[in-house]
Every structure is written in C-alpha cells, then in structure tokens.
C-alpha cells in the first residue's frame, strides 16, 4: 500500500525515535513493504518513499511466493492464516498505511495490511474468490457482516499486531484524518471520520459513465479494470450508477502494460464474458488475477466498455473483448449516436477514492 508523504516523512521517523527511546537500536528495526501478490516496487519507488532511511534501517519487500511464512491455522471463517516469517518473529509489530475504499474489505488498511499485505499467495487466493466477490456484504464501503473484513481483523489479532497507524489522504496528499491504536478500533475510527469523503451519491443512473481511475491506479490494465470498471458497475457496488445496457468509457494511460498475466490470459482465451465466469466458478484453485477477470466479465456481460486514450497497443485491449478508442471525444461521439443527444452522462475523476452509489 502506498505511503503518503505525511506517513513516510513524519510518522515513520516518530516511530523509529520512539523505539530507540525504548532501548532499541536501528539494526534491530526492520521495515517490511507489504505488497500482497502485486509486483515488487521499483527501485526508484522505494527511494522516493523510504530513501531517507537508506543505510539506517533494513528494508525488506514481502514476496507472497518466496518469503518464508508462518502458519497460524485458520480463521473462524475457514480462511488460512499464513504470514511473513520475519514479521511473525518480531517482538513488536507495528503496521502503518493508508485507508481507501476496497471491493472485498470495504476499506483497505486495518487487518487487510496483514491478511493480504504480508500473506502467502495461497492465503491471499483463499479469500479472493468468486464467492467473496458475490457475497452481499463484501463490497465497497461495507464492513458490517463482511466476512473478508472480519477475517482480516482475526488474522491481525492472531498474529499479534501491537499497534496500527492508519490515515486518509486526499489526492493532493493532504491529511484528512489519522488514527492510531489497536487494529480494529483505530481502523474503524479512520473509517468513521472519512466515510463521507469517499461516498459519491448520484441522483439518477447514467447512460454513459466516463471514468478516470487516477494516479497511481491508472498505470496498468489490471488496476484500471478494478477501479475504472468494477468500481463503477461490479458486483461489489451495492447501487450501480449506470443504466442497463449503458456504456463505460475508461480514460487512463496504462503505460506499465497488463500487469497481471493470469487476469489477462483468462479474459483473452474466452469467447465471451459468460465463458469467463463459468470457467472461473468451476475452478477448484484460483490464482491471483482470476478474481479480477471474473469481476470484469460480470460487468462486460451487462454493459459496453470502451478504453480511450490508452498508451497500450489497441490490440491488447480488443483481445479481451473491450473496445479501444484513440480519443475520449471519439468514444463519446460514438456512444451519443447510440443513446442520443439527451443521454445522461456521469464523469468521475480519481475513482479509486470513491464509493459510487445511485439508490434511485
């Protein structure tokens, strides 16, 4: 999870200073970058976020495939708890990160920073399933009776997290709220203070939705599909803002490419969205990326998707049954021919920060 300027420049030094005042020396302190099953951060990204600690604190990047793990059994929901061994062996466990809307956990941060951020590939896959995607209480902004959220809290407690610091930042890195303390209490406090900031209520459903996912979620196809497609009309959205047979136009550069090959190949090899959903539902073992392919297929089955102004080769986009367009204006003009000049249009910027609902 990306750390904001305030967290990395102000909070981390305070944590280190507090630990040193308690008798620890810098060689005893380690920072683990919790990336879940996502790609490792580039060298320049680590330098940007944690360069001021270089040669002072050991920095380790978690690897869901290769890091040594410790198994803690299962949660009451039956999900395995398998966590980075280095973190498990630490005498003091402090978790630091930001809070954003999330399609499974309701909100990122909290227990998810352990249950996904520093978990094994198999443990992550166990919760990223079609059943979880389709669960009525696992969705954007939902934590009540949410099995993913409560299982993540269980895992953090089981592993023995001592202290959590979560913050909410706006798109300009301005601090909106910060909370610290026990995992569940601190996380909930952050959510309650900021939920209205994330919620966007639309008065009526649109025929055309234009969405820009916003930095840093606009750099690859995998994350753009999550934040530009599934966040608008996926099964985790309680009240979708788009009419039946509407069109979603996604405007994001995706200069880093596909990102997750399992996700891409699953969509590419199927003849249609229905085949994608049927195939994934029949699988007994899912890889990270299958859940995203399933979620995108659900949206494609109901709505038309156009990706405009992408830096990707148009053939890469069209191969997964999504229409490419060289320009937003061209995509919009084409859509207006279908819906007419009186079409209702909704525009969203930085959708990865939004819980989009239309209750009419």
Domain spans in the chain, listed from the N-terminal domain onward: 5-199, 202-357
Q: Beta-strand (E) ranges in the chain?
A: 30-33, 58-61, 69-74, 80-84, 94-98, 101-102, 106-107, 163-169, 175-181, 199-201, 206-212, 242-251, 304-308, 323-325, 345-349, 355-357
Give the confidence band of 341 by pLDDT, cuts at 50, 70, 90. confident
How many other C-beta atoms lie within 10 A of the C-beta of residue 121? 18
φ/ψ (deg, to 5) at 191: -65, -50
By the 10 Å C-beta count (0-12 exposed, 13-18 middle, 19+ buried), 304 is classed as middle
Torsion 275-355-153-24 (CA) sign: positive
Q: DSSP per residue over 123-189, as a string?
A: HHHHHSSHHHHH-TTSSTT--TT-HHHHHHHHHHHHHT--EEEEEEE-TT--EEEEEEESHHHHHHH
Report, as an integer, the average pLDDT of 69-86: 97
Report, as an integer, the average pLDDT of 110-114: 97
Assign a CATH topology to domain 5-199. Answer: Rossmann fold (3.40.50)
Q: What pLDDT does residue 43 have?
A: 87
Same fold, 5-199 and 202-357: no
* For residue 1, pLDDT beyond 50: no
Q: What pLDDT does residue 291 have?
A: 94
* For residue 344, pLDDT beyond 70: yes
* For residue 44, pLDDT beyond 60: yes
pTM for the full predicted model: 0.90
Averaged confidence pLDDT in the chain: 93
Q: Tell me which residue of 355, 357, 296 sits closest to 101, measured CA to CA.
A: 355
Q: What pLDDT does residue 171 have?
A: 79
Q: HSE-up of 182 (CA within 13 Å, CB side)?
A: 6
Span 209-228, pLDDT tens digits: 999 998 889 999 999 999 99
Helices and strands (H, E) in the chain, number of each type: 16, 16
Q: Which residue matches tokens 């395995």?
A: 80
Cross-strand partners of 33: 61
Which CATH superfamily is 202-357 part of?
LarA, C-terminal domain (3.90.226.30)
Q: What pLDDT does residue 216 have?
A: 84
Report, as an integer, the average pLDDT of 280-306: 95
Residue that wins the pLDDT comparison between 72 and 5: 72
* For residue 6, pLDDT beyond 70: no
How far apart, in whole angstroms, are the C-alpha atoms of residue 147 and residue 127? 9
Span 244-257, pLDDT tens digits: 999 999 999 999 99
Q: What pLDDT does residue 151 have?
A: 97
* For residue 122, pLDDT beyond 90: yes
């Amino acid at each position: 999870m990306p750390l904001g300027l305030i967290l990395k420049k102000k909070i981390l030094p305070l944590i280190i200073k507090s630990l040193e005042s308690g008798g620890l020396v810098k060689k005893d302190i380690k920072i683990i970058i919790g990336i879940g099953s996502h790609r490792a951060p580039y060298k320049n990204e680590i330098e940007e976020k944690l360069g001021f600690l270089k040669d002072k604190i050991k920095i380790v990047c978690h690897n869901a495939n290769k890091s040594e793990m410790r198994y803690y059994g299962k949660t009451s929901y039956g999900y395995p708890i398998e966590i980075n061994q280095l973190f498990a062996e630490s005498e003091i466990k402090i978790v630091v990160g930001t809070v954003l809307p999330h399609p499974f956990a309701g909100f990122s941060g909290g227990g998810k920073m352990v249950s996904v951020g520093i978990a094994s590939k198999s443990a992550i896959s166990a919760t990223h399933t079609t059943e979880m995607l389709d669960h009525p209480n696992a969705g954007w902004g939902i934590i009540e009776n949410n099995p993913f959220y409560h299982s993540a809290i269980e895992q953090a407690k089981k592993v023995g997290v001592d202290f959590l610091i979560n913050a909410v930042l706006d798109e300009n890195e301005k601090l909106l709220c910060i909370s610290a303390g026990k995992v569940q209490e601190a996380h909930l406090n952050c959510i309650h203070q900021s939920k209205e900031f994330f919620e966007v209520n639309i008065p009526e459903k649109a025929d055309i939705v234009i969405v820009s996912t916003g930095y840093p979620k606009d750099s690859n196809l995998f994350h753009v599909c999550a934040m530009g497609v599934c966040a608008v009309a996926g099964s985790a959205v309680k009240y979708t803002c788009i009419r039946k047979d509407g069109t979603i136009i996604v405007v994001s550069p995706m200069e880093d490419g596909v990102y997750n090959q399992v996700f891409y190949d699953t969509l590419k090899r199927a003849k249609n969205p229905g085949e994608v959903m049927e195939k994934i539902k029949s699988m007994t073992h899912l890889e990270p990326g299958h859940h995203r392919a399933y979620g995108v297929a659900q949206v494609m089955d109901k709505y038309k998707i156009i990706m405009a102004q992408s830096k990707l080769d148009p053939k890469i986009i069209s191969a997964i049954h999504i229409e490419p367009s060289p320009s937003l204006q061209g995509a919009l003009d084409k859509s207006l021919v279908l819906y007419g000049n009186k079409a209702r249009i909704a525009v969203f910027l930085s959708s990865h920060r939004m819980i989009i609902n239309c209750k009419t």
